[in-house]
Copies of this chain bind each other. A is one copy, B any other.
């Protein structure tokens, strides 16, 4: 049974290093960490021993002794969305210099999210947490605020917490103003059906508000507003609906590039020329936007991840945040999917009997 003892690498511990170097384990620990008070001679002896034995400190033991995991945890819903992916990439990139491992906690439903937060709080106790596009219940938020690790929120403005976000209404306004400036008056909106997600997202509603208020300033009303689950195909179907209905819009604003690409697909299917007969505006400016030639509202997605990572690193290092809330810049990026409104109505609306 145990005759074989362990044939596995019999992981070398700090004790092995200590005896090999002829010092106490405390000393080894010191050279490993801050290493304040160690004589040069001892230090080099220990370092030699470490190299000799190929010693690496046990992550679990360190975590237990220190009271926290040397890992940054990212809590993110919809890891399949391109924007979520890009954010995570930014985070990983921003954390690379520090060498801190990144753990991904995917969440599917609000209850699932709650569970993940609880396990994070009670069990994981990581070095820092980055929450993406999520706003958990008040009690979880409070516990997160009281936790002894830093938390940074991306794409959510949370009271008392450090957060990076965008002005969604302004984004909607930018999109609408662009179409208006091109002469469009029949503008429709395709957005997420956030109410049904259960997460309590509000960004689509805010963007819609931006659009309608921009239109209102010109005395116009939104031609149509369709929402559905966030996906390219759903957006395509909604667009078909919009484009084959009576009040065909000449411009469509969407809440993501994914959806905009769906609208483009619908237009192609229906033989509607973009941007000749129809202009489409996306949101986010993820990678696909460029290759699809999409006019879109760019938000610095990867950048938000990078900044969150840097913030976490700095906060975990004991720094105080200079600003709690940081609004990220938004920018209209014009490509091939928008153009001047058709001079003649694309489709003559039936004149109502006067």
Contacts and interface: CB of A to CB of B under 8 A. Distances in A.
Contacts of A291: 232, 261, 264-265, 288, 291-292
Contacts of A148: 8-9
A122 B60 contact: no
A244 to B, nearest CB: 21
A71 B103 contact: yes
Given A56-B122, A58-B64, A146 B9 contact: yes
Nearest to A149: B8
B59 A11 contact: no
A104 B102 contact: yes
A265 B105 CA distance: 37
Interface in A49-89: 54-61, 63-64, 67-69, 71, 73, 79-80, 82, 85, 88-89
A143 interface: yes
A287 interface: yes
B9 A123 contact: no
A147 interface: yes
Contacts of A157: none
Interface in A82-135: 82, 85, 88-89, 92-93, 96, 101-106, 108, 118-119, 121-125
A320 interface: no
Contact of A56 (B69, B88, B119, B147): B119
A218 interface: no
A290 to B, nearest CB: 9
A6 interface: yes
Interface of A: 6, 8-9, 11-12, 54-61, 63-64, 67-69, 71, 73, 79-80, 82, 85, 88-89, 92-93, 96, 101-106, 108, 118-119, 121-125, 143, 146-148, 232, 261, 264-265, 287-288, 291-292
Given A8-B147, A60-B125, A291-B292, 9 more contacts: A9-B146, A9-B148, A54-B122, A55-B122, A64-B64, A80-B89, A82-B287, A92-B106, A265-B291
22 contacts: A8-B67, A8-B146, A9-B121, A11-B125, A54-B118, A54-B122, A56-B121, A56-B122, A56-B123, A59-B124, A60-B63, A60-B68, A71-B103, A73-B101, A80-B89, A85-B89, A92-B104, A92-B106, A101-B103, A261-B291, A287-B288, A288-B291
